[in-house]
C-alpha cells in the first residue's frame, strides 16, 4: 500500500496535535486530547488467515428502530451540502457531502436510530440514511457527537447494508471526533466495542464483495485510529499497518475480485465490481497512497492493480475493451437496459444514459466517441425503446345544442409516437420544456377520425344530410426518468384540431337550415375537460392529461397507461378511453471486443 500509514506521522505526530487535522468546517470540532496515559492503546489486530476471503460469507444481521419524528430531509447534489439532526437523547449528527460526490440532486433523509438488536457491541449511536443504496463518488462525512462519552480506545465506526448486514465502516483516521467516511447508504453508527468484539466482527464477512473488503480494511483502520489517537506514532506501527492492508487487498484481489470479474455477466455484477474497486481506491486516497485514484477503473494501459504483480496483464486478458472496467460495465448496463425495455417493458434507459454521463464527469474520464457510438449507442437505444402506440376513442353526447335536441359524435385515432427520436438531445429538451416553451419537444400527428355522428332534431322538424368531419390530433408523451424503469407519473399533451360535423334541420318554421361545419366534438370535449385544457389563441388548443396511480400499470406489461372518462357534466356526457401501449424496437447488440 506504498507505506500509506506514514501519512499519520507526517501530518500529526502527536495526539495533542490531532485537533488541527479535522474535516469540513461544517463538522463539529475535535474535542481536546485527554490527559496523557489516561487510556491504554488497544493491541494491534492480527493478520487474517490466508484463505479468509475464500470462506463463505457469515454476516451479522442487525435490526434497528428509528425515530421518524426527528428525521431531517434535504436535497443535496453536485455542489454538495449538509444536514443536521439531534436524537431524543441529545446525540447530534452532522452529515456533509462535498462537491462532486453525487451525480445529480437527490433528496436525502437522515433519521436518528433509537435502538438496534443483534449487533456485537456494548452500545452505539447512529442514524439511518435514505435512499438506501445511494452511491457517492467521493467520501461524504457523518460526524456523530454521542450524548454519552464513548472512550477512544473502544470507538469503532460501523455500518449496515439495506439488508441489515453489519460491516466495519471507514473512520476519519485523523479526527479525534467520531466521523464516518461514507461511500454508500444506509445505516451508520459510532459504536463502543471491546478489542474482542472488534476482532469477532472482523471475521463475520458480509455477502457483498464491496462490503467484504470494507469490513476487513476498516477493521485495520479503526484499530489504527484508536492507537494513533492514544499516542502510538512510530515507524513500526506504520509498517505493521501497511503489511496488514497490503495482505488484505492482495488476498481480496485473488479470491474475490478476480473470480467476480471472470464471472460478470450483468450490469449489477459490474456495478458491484466497480463499487469494490472504488472503495479500495478511496481508502488508499484517504491514507495518502493514491495519486491517480481512479485510473485503474479505466486501465487500458494494463498497469498493475495496487502494485500486485501481473494484475494489469490479467485485467487486459479478462476484461473487454482493453481492460477497462468502466467501459465493460457501461456497455453491459446499456445492453441490459435495452433488454429490459424490449422483454419486460421497463424504461430505465434514460437513467442509465444519464448515469454514464455523470460517472464520466465525476471520475474525470475523457470522452471516447468511437466506443460510445459503436457500443453504448444511447441515441439509437433511446429511440428504439421509448415508443408507444396511442389509442384514443371518445364519444360525446350534447343535449340541447342549436339545431338538435340531442347529438352524439364519436372520434377515434391510433398513432405510434416516438418519445426520443433525437436520443439524448430530446431527453434534454424534455427536461427543459418549461424553459423552452415546448420548443424542440418531439410530437406526432394523426387524423382524429369522426367515426359516427347521430343527430336527433326537435319535435317540430327533421334532420337530414348528417356528415361527420375529421379533425386532427398532435401529441407528446413524457415521464420522469426512473432507476426502477416503472414510471410513477406521466403527462400526455394532446393538441386538438377542430372536427367539422354538419347536418340539416328541416321544419320548425324555418325551412331547411344547414348547421355546420361545426367543431361539435372538439368544443364539447374541451368543455368537459376544462380543468385540463390549454389554449394558445390562433396557435393550438387541447388538454394536458396527468397520469398517475391507477392510470399507470406497474406490472411491467405492454400497457404503459390506461384511463377512462365516463361522466355527465351539465348538458354534456362522454365515454372516452385512452390507452398507451409500449411498442419498442429491438436492436442488434454489437459483440464487445474480446480481451487480449
- Provide the mean pLDDT of the chain: 87
Query: 569: how many CB neighbours lie within 10 A of its CB?
Result: 12
Q: Give the integer Cα–Cα distance in Å for 240 and 248.
A: 13
Q: Which of 1-15, 19-33, 272-286, 288-302 has the lowest mean pLDDT?
A: 1-15
Residue 440 vs residue 544, higher pLDDT = 544
pLDDT reading at 275 higher than 90: no
Q: Give the integer Cα–Cα distance in Å for 219 and 73.
A: 31
Asked whether the beta carbons of 493 and 476 are under 8 A apart, the reply is yes
Grid cell listed for 542:
387541447
| Ordered DSSP codes for 397-423 | EEES-TT-SEEEEEEEEEEEEES-TTT
Predicted local distance difference test score (pLDDT) of residue 104: 84
Rounded to an integer, the average pLDDT of 171-185 is: 93
Q: Give the integer Cα–Cα distance in Å for 420 and 382.
A: 6
Asked whether the beta carbons of 177 and 22 are under 8 A apart, the reply is yes
Q: Which residue, 392, 389, 377, 455, is CA-closest to 418?
A: 389
592 pLDDT band (50/70/90 cuts)? confident
Q: Which of 64-68, 105-109, 426-430 has the lowest mean pLDDT?
A: 426-430
Instruction: Check the CA dihedral 88-90-91-95 and report its sign.
Output: positive
Rounded to an integer, the average pLDDT of 314-327 is: 92
Asked whether the beta carbons of 371 and 327 are under 8 A apart, the reply is yes
Highest mean pLDDT among 29-33, 375-379, 538-542: 375-379
Q: Which residue, 161, 286, 272, is CA-closest to 222?
A: 286
Rounded to an integer, the average pLDDT of 490-509 is: 94
Predicted local distance difference test score (pLDDT) of residue 182: 95
b/e map of 346-372 (b: 16 or more CB within 10 Å)?
bbbbbbbbbbbeebbebbebeebeebb
Q: Give the integer Cα–Cα distance in Å for 396 and 408.
A: 6
% of the chain surpassing 70 pLDDT:
89
Contacting residues for 303 by C-beta, under 8 A, at least 6 apart: 295, 296, 312
Q: Give the integer Cα–Cα distance in Å for 322 and 344.
A: 32
Give me the numbers of helices (H) and strands (E) for the chain, helices first please. Answer: 15, 24
Predicted local distance difference test score (pLDDT) of residue 23: 36
Predicted local distance difference test score (pLDDT) of residue 238: 64
Q: Give the integer Cα–Cα distance in Å for 136 and 139.
A: 7
What's the chain's Rg over C-alpha atoms? 32
Rounded to an integer, the average pLDDT of 410-417 is: 96
17 pLDDT band (50/70/90 cuts)? very low
pLDDT reading at 18 higher than 50: no
Dihedral (Cα; 229, 232, 238, 241), 10-degree rounding:
-70
Rounded to an integer, the average pLDDT of 250-272 is: 92
Question: Residue 525, exposed/middle/buried by CB under 10 A (0-12, 13-18, 19+)?
Answer: buried
| pLDDT tens per residue across span 233-253 | 666 666 677 788 888 889 999
Domains of the chain, earliest start first? 6-264 (2.60.220.30), 385-582 (no CATH)
Report the DSSP beta bridge partners of residue 166: 160
Q: What distance lies between CA 523 and its chain's CA centroid?
A: 43
Predicted local distance difference test score (pLDDT) of residue 34: 47
| pLDDT tens per residue across span 209-232 | 889 989 999 999 999 899 888 887
Predicted local distance difference test score (pLDDT) of residue 38: 63
Asked whether the beta carbons of 118 and 191 are under 8 A apart, the reply is no
pLDDT reading at 31 higher than 80: no
Predicted local distance difference test score (pLDDT) of residue 13: 26
Predicted local distance difference test score (pLDDT) of residue 235: 63
Task: Name the residue with cell 457501461.
Answer: 330
Q: Which of 38-42, 280-284, 329-333, 374-378 has the lowest mean pLDDT?
A: 38-42
Predicted local distance difference test score (pLDDT) of residue 293: 56
Asked whether the beta carbons of 514 and 504 are under 8 A apart, the reply is yes
Q: Give the integer Cα–Cα distance in Å for 174 and 176.
A: 7
pLDDT reading at 126 higher than 60: yes
Asked whether the beta carbons of 444 and 416 are under 8 A apart, the reply is yes
CA angle 296, 299, 301 (to 5 degrees): 130
Contacting residues for 391 by C-beta, under 8 A, at least 6 apart: 413, 414, 577, 578, 579, 580, 581
The model's pTM is 0.82
280 pLDDT band (50/70/90 cuts)? confident
Report the DSSP beta bridge partners of residue 472: 447, 497
Dihedral (Cα; 297, 302, 305, 308), 10-degree rounding:
170
Predicted local distance difference test score (pLDDT) of residue 449: 95
Strands 501-507, 461-467: pairing kind: antiparallel
% of the chain surpassing 90 pLDDT:
63
Highest mean pLDDT among 301-305, 410-414, 468-472: 410-414
Residue 8 vs residue 304, higher pLDDT = 304
Task: Name the residue with cell 418549461.
Answer: 434
| pLDDT tens per residue across span 440-499 | 788 999 999 999 999 999 989 899 999 999 999 999 998 887 777 888 889 999 999 999
Asked whether the beta carbons of 375 and 590 are under 8 A apart, the reply is yes
Secondary element (H or E) of residue 383? helix 378-385
Strands 501-507, 512-518: pairing kind: antiparallel
Rounded to an integer, the average pLDDT of 498-516 is: 93
Predicted local distance difference test score (pLDDT) of residue 519: 95
Phi (first) and psi of residue 487, to 5 degrees: -65, 135
Q: Which residue, 81, 133, 134, 90, is CA-closest to 112?
A: 90
| pLDDT tens per residue across span 568-583 | 999 999 999 999 999 9
26 pLDDT band (50/70/90 cuts)? low
Rounded to an integer, the average pLDDT of 104-113 is: 94
Predicted local distance difference test score (pLDDT) of residue 29: 59
b/e map of 21-30 (b: 16 or more CB within 10 Å)?
ebbeebbbeb
| pLDDT tens per residue across span 341-366 | 999 999 999 999 998 998 888 888 88
Q: Where are the beta strands (DSSP E) in 57-209?
A: 63-66, 72-76, 81-86, 92-97, 106-117, 123-130, 135-145, 155-160, 166-168, 170-171, 178-184, 187-192
Task: Name the residue with cell 413524457.
Answer: 478
Asked whether the beta carbons of 517 and 502 are under 8 A apart, the reply is yes
Residue 12 vs residue 91, higher pLDDT = 91
388 pLDDT band (50/70/90 cuts)? very high
Three-state DSSP class for residue 302:
coil
Three-state DSSP class for residue 592:
coil
Amino acid at each position: 500500500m506504498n507505506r500509506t500509514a506514514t501519512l499519520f506521522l507526517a501530518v500529526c505526530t502527536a495526539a495533542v496535535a490531532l485537533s488541527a487535522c479535522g474535516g469540513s468546517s461544517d463538522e463539529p470540532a475535535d474535542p481536546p486530547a485527554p490527559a496523557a496515559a489516561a487510556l491504554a492503546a488497544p493491541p494491534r489486530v492480527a493478520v487474517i488467515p490466508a484463505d479468509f476471503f475464500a470462506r463463505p460469507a457469515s454476516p451479522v444481521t442487525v435490526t434497528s428502530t428509528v425515530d421518524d419524528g426527528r428525521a431531517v430531509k434535504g436535497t443535496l447534489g453536485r455542489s454538495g451540502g449538509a444536514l443536521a439532526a439531534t436524537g431524543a437523547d441529545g446525540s447530534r449528527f452532522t452529515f456533509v457531502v462535498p462537491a462532486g460526490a453525487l451525480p445529480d440532486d437527490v433528496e436525502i433523509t437522515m433519521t436518528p436510530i433509537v435502538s438496534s438488536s443483534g449487533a456485537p457491541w456494548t452500545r452505539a449511536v447512529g442514524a439511518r440514511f435514505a435512499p438506501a443504496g445511494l452511491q457517492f463518488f467521493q467520501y461524504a462525512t457523518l460526524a456523530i457527537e454521542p450524548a454519552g462519552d464513548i472512550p477512544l480506545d473502544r470507538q469503532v465506526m460501523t455500518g449496515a447494508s439495506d439488508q441489515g448486514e453489519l460491516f466495519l465502516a471507514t473512520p476519519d483516521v485523523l479526527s479525534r471526533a467520531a466521523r464516518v467516511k461514507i461511500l454508500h447508504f444506509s445505516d451508520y453508527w459510532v459504536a463502543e466495542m471491546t478489542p474482542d468484539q472488534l476482532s469477532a466482527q472482523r471475521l463475520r464477512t458480509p455477502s457483498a464483495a464491496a462490503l467484504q473488503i470494507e469490513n476487513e480494511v476498516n477493521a485495520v483502520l479503526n484499530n489504527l485510529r484508536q492507537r494513533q489517537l492514544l499516542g502510538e506514532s512510530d515507524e513500526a506501527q506504520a509498517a505493521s499497518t501497511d503489511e496488514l492492508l497490503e495482505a488484505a487487498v492482495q488476498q481480496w484481489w485473488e479470491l474475490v475480485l478476480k473470480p467476480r470479474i471472470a464471472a460478470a455477466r450483468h450490469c449489477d455484477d459490474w456495478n458491484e465490481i466497480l463499487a469494490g474497486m472504488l472503495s479500495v481506491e478511496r481508502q488508499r486516497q484517504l491514507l495518502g497512497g493514491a495519486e491517480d485514484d481512479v485510473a485503474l477503473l479505466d486501465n487500458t494501459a494494463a498497469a498493475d492493480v495496487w502494485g500486485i504483480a501481473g494484475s494489469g496483464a490479467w485485467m487486459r486478458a479478462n476484461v473487454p475493451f482493453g481492460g477497462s472496467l468502466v467501459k465493460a460495465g457501461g456497455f453491459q448496463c446499456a445492453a441490459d437496459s435495452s433488454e429490459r425495455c424490449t422483454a419486460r417493458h421497463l424504461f430505465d434507459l434514460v437513467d442509465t444514459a444519464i448515469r454514464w454521463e455523470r460517472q464520466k464527469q465525476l471520475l474525470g474520464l475523457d470522452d471516447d466517441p468511437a466506443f460510445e457510438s459503436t457500443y453504448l449507442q444511447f441515441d439509437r437505444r433511446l429511440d428504439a425503446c421509448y415508443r408507444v402506440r396511442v389509442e384514443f376513442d371518445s364519444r360525446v353526447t350534447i343535449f340541447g345544442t342549436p339545431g338538435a335536441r340531442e347529438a352524439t359524435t364519436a372520434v377515434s385515432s391510433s398513432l405510434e409516437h416516438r418519445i426520443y427520436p433525437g436520443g439524448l438531445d430530446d431527453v434534454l429538451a424534455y427536461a427543459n420544456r418549461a424553459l423552452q416553451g415546448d420548443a424542440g419537444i418531439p410530437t406526432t400527428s394523426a387524423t382524429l377520425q369522426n367515426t359516427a355522428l347521430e343527430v336527433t332534431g326537435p319535435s317540430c322538424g327533421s334532420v337530414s344530410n348528417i356528415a361527420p368531419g375529421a379533425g386532427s390530433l398532435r401529441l407528446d408523451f413524457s415521464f420522469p426518468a426512473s432507476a426502477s424503469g416503472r414510471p410513477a407519473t406521466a403527462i400526455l399533451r394532446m393538441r386538438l384540431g377542430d372536427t367539422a360535423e354538419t347536418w340539416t334541420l328541416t321544419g320548425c318554421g324555418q325551412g331547411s337550415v344547414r348547421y355546420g361545419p361545426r367543431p361539435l366534438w372538439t368544443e364539447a370535449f374541451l368543455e368537459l375537460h376544462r380543468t385540463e385544457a390549454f389554449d394558445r389563441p390562433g396557435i393550438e388548443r387541447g388538454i394536458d392529461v396527468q397520469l398517475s396511480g391507477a392510470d399507470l400499470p406497474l406490472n411491467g406489461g405492454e400497457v404503459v397507461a390506461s384511463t377512462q372518462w365516463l361522466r355527465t357534466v351539465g348538458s354534456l356526457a362522454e365515454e372516452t378511453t385512452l390507452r398507451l401501449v409500449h411498442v419498442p424496437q429491438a436492436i442488434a447488440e454489437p459483440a464487445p471486443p474480446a480481451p487480449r
